[in-house]
């Protein structure tokens, strides 16, 4: 059986996911086979495995850092919120049901055997399993039916490290308070604490670390500095993707929809020199841009209504009149059409909503969820504006519950789904090529496609083509190594090995 270590946090967004990815990379570098595990993940940012199964993107990223293929064994429960009170429950990669919070709270204990079974399979296949908790173990109202923090640590008998975020302030109180609210057995399971996101002079902090250790009777395993290392973020709880770059020649605006999903689709665009990417947040105007992207969403009709309530549809139609490029991904593609129908009320009480009308597309929301890895060929008969991307082969993945029909040209032809050969049209393109939509997530990770698309925009502005864009996958590999280097220098890794081996 594998050695194991679990990272729990004083709150959400303290950096647990990033530190798990770092430890996975460090253990890999040290010659161990290692896998991540998170029993229950709540996120709208998901990933599709080679088998067409859906899991949390954070665990897929951690698997990538570990140098292994993502598996739903690493994340048996995925919760995708569709409203403030309801979420889609995905078990072992497949949609199980939609539940409200109170129903799910009663349902959770039934999943313990599944969680243990999946963890044991990982533990039998790898030398080390690095476990991530969710939120905080000090949510005392949830402790009785916990399956993701101390309840999970007890289930798999794992030692725990508590992570606190010093950047928000109050880290000493949050760590001490978290430990105070644990029972004696849980407190005994905690073998140390990690302070994350530190900025400043460590010498000034050191007296506080000693006082904290005296108060909590636990060792500080290390202090990790705030770093600009890039690793895909877990979900929209983070502020990281709001950052803006200015001064470039090409401006890309992305709508930050209320239920935005898979926003990591657009991270490759942020790495391109001379390209500015901005998110249009609640209460903001779109303003001038060269490209508008409407992203995926877990609630297409609800987010379309929110878009219209904010009167952004008038800005979108005006951008269309100005000849700007407008792109829809998944739910955003559905919004670009004429109508969205939900006769079974899967997304909510609204049965039908008029779309933006920029593409001749009609979508019907259905219970069937398509989750596939795909390879597609961009259509050979695209309008002249998009001619540089004609015929390109691209890889990506689909996650959607709607079926769209169109009388216009398709954007691409899917030639494989989960490695099975097929021929299925995907997406739609307007007659002038200035509006297109696709169900394909991850399309901008295709370096040549993205380079040519950017050059289409540069050409339209009389700018010289760019000859090179760094391969995004190679970029991420380099960042995993950089992350591991920062964390290795910051933590007492030898002590973590001792903790895993039961020496501490």
Catalytic residues: 330, 441
| H or E stretch covering 89 | strand 86-91
**Chain-centroid distance, C-alpha 192:** 28
Sheet of strand 275-280: strand arrangement: 275-280, 250-255, 291-294, 325-329, 435-438, 428-429
Cβ neighbour number for residue 219 with a 10 Å cutoff = 17
Helix (H, G, I), strand (E, B) or coil at 167: helix
Query: Strand pairing partners for 78?
Result: 41, 90
Cα R_g (the chain), whole angstroms: 23
Contacts of 217 (CB under 8 A, 6+ apart): none
Quickly list H helices, 134-170.
150-156
* β-bridge pairing 94-100 and 160-165: unpaired
Closest CA to 57 of 297, 451, 49: 49
| H or E stretch covering 318 | helix 312-321
Buried/exposed code over 426-438 (b: 16+ C-beta within 10 A; e: otherwise) = bbbbbeebbbbbb
């Amino acid at each position: 059986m594998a050695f194991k270590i679990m990272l729990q946090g004083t709150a959400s967004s303290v950096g647990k996911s990033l530190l798990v990815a770092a430890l996975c990379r460090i253990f890999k570098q040290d010659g161990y086979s290692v896998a991540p595990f998170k029993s229950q993940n709540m996120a709208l940012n998901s990933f599709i495995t080679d088998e067409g199964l859906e899991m949390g993107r954070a665990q897929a990223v951690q698997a990538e850092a570990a140098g292994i293929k993502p598996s739903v064994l690493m994340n048996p429960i995925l919760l995708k919120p569709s409203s403030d009170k309801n979420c889609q429950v995905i078990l072992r990669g497949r949609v199980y049901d939609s539940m409200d919070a109170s129903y799910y709270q009663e349902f959770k204990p039934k999943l313990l055997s599944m969680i243990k079974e999946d963890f044991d399979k990982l533990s039998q296949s790898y030398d080390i399993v690095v476990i991530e908790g969710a939120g905080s173990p000090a949510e005392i109202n949830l402790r009785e039916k916990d399956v993701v923090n101390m309840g999970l640590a007890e289930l798999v008998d794992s030692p725990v490290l508590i992570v606190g975020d010093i950047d928000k302030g109050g880290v000493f109180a949050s760590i001490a308070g978290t430990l105070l609210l644990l029972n004696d057995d849980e407190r005994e399971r905690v073998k140390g604490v990690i302070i994350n996101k530190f900025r400043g002079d460590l010498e000034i902090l050191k007296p506080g670390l000693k006082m904290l250790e005296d108060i909590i009777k636990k060792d500080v395993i290390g202090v990790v500095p705030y770093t600009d290392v890039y690793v895909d973020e877990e979900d929209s709880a983070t502020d990281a993707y709001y950052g803006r770059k200015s001064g470039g020649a090409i401006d890309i605006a992305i709508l930050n929809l209320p239920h935005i999903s898979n926003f990591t689709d657009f991270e490759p665009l942020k790495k391109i020199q001379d390209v500015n990417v901005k998110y249009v947040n609640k209460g903001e105007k779109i303003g001038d841009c060269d490209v508008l992207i409407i992203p995926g969403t877990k609630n297409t009709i609800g987010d379309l209504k929110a878009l219209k309530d904010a009167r952004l549809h008038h800005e979108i139609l005006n951008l269309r009149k100005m000849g700007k490029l407008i792109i829809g991904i998944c739910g955003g593609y559905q919004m670009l059409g004429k109508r969205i129908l939900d006769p079974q009320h899967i997304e909510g009480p609204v049965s039908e909503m008029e779309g933006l009308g920029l593409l001749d597309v009609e979508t019907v929301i259905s219970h069937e969820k398509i989750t596939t890895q795909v390879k597609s060929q961009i259509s050979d008969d695209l309008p002249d504006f998009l001619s540089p991307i004609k015929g390109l082969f691209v890889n990506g993945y689909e996650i959607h519950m709607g079926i769209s029909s169109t009388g216009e040209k398709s954007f691409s032809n899917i030639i494989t789904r989960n490695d099975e050969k097929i021929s299925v049209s995907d997406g739609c393109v307007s007659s002038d090529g200035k509006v297109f939509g696709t169900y394909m997530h991850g399309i901008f990770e295709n370096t040549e496609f993205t380079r040519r698309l950017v050059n289409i925009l540069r050409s339209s502005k009389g700018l010289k083509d760019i000859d090179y864009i760094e391969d995004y996958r190679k970029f991420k590999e380099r960042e995993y190594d950089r992350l591991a280097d920062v964390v290795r220098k910051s933590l007492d890794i030898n002590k973590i090995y001792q903790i895993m081996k039961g020496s501490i």
